[in-house]
Structure 1
Amino acid sequence: MDSYVSRAALDFFIAFGVVFGGSMLAGIGSVFFLLPPAAVMLQTASQLKIWALVAAVGGSIDPLRVIESNIIEGHLYPVAVQVALMLCAFLGAHIGTELIRWLCRGAA
């Protein structure tokens, strides 16, 4: 149980870091090209959201294969674990996106 909780926390923070860090660096980069940083950060955050989820769950199709093979065999616990890990990663990406929206609220 402990390894699942730590894996879920890591997935959350990986997805959060991809969205938040990528958006912040895009904002810094936009200054060099005289683009509005808030608009670039908001656009980048929304575009990175799905990629943050993919990066957090392993970057491949393996989690979906785990779900498929265990559903076929009738083992629901591993399916629930994979879905929970994906939800934690999605939550991290979503919170990262919302934090960027909150930071850019007055500027965009």
Structure 2
Amino acid sequence: MGVFWANIILYFCIAFGVVFGGSMLSGIAAVLTLQSPTEKMMTVAENIKIWAMVAAVGGTIDPIRYIESHVAIGHLNPAIKQIILIIVAFFGAQIGTSLIQMICKGGHQP
């Protein structure tokens, strides 16, 4: 398997894991602090989605600099690959959030 495909899987799983793991642990914390675990889990899932993407791509500004530097010299392929990795991280975070919402709402969404 190529490095790019390995990174796609890695970025997806990191973003998914940050949202899912963080939300599940916030549910445990909510129980310990006598709060509503479902409300807390859904709130945390929405709030950490962007940070899950940041964690997956390895920083907030470096990927943007990478894209800019390659586009500036006319190398579009590396820039497109970086954009794809950011999109994959978004999908991982979004699927993690959707799974938490399904768990908290009992499987059906409105």
TM-score bucket of the superposed structures, by smaller chain = over 0.9
Q: Give deviations 1:33-74, integer Å, cap 9, x for gaps.
A: 110000000000000100000000002411110100111111
d(CA) in 1 for partners of 2:71 and 2:59?
Answer: 21
Give the equivalent residue in structure 1 for 2:96.
Answer: 96
Is there any run of 5+ residues in structure 2 with no aligned partner, and where?
none
94-103 vs 55-64, greater mean Cα deviation: 55-64
- What one-letter code is carried by the residue in structure 2 that aligns with 1:41? M
- DSSP-derived class of the 2:48 partner: helix
- DSSP-derived class of the 1:35 partner: coil
Give the equivalent residue in structure 1 for 2:4.
Answer: 4
5 Å-filtered alignment, 1:50-89, equals 50-89=50-89
- What one-letter code is carried by the residue in structure 1 that aligns with 2:104? C
Give the equivalent residue in structure 2 for 1:37.
Answer: 37
17-26 vs 58-67, greater mean Cα deviation: 58-67
d(CA) in 2 for partners of 1:29 and 1:15?
Answer: 21
d(CA) in 2 for partners of 1:94 and 1:60?
Answer: 18
- DSSP-derived class of the 1:68 partner: helix
d(CA) in 1 for partners of 2:37 and 2:62?
Answer: 36
Q: Give deviations 1:4-50, integer Å, cap 9, x for gaps.
A: 00011000000000000000000000001110000000000000100
Tell me the C-alpha RMSD between the 2 structures.
1.4
d(CA) in 2 for partners of 1:36 and 1:79?
Answer: 43
Is there any run of 5+ residues in structure 1 with no aligned partner, and where?
none
- What one-letter code is carried by the residue in structure 2 that aligns with 1:75? H
How many residues matched? 107
- DSSP-derived class of the 1:14 partner: helix
d(CA) in 2 for partners of 1:62 and 1:27?
Answer: 32
Give the equivalent residue in structure 2 for 1:47.
Answer: 47
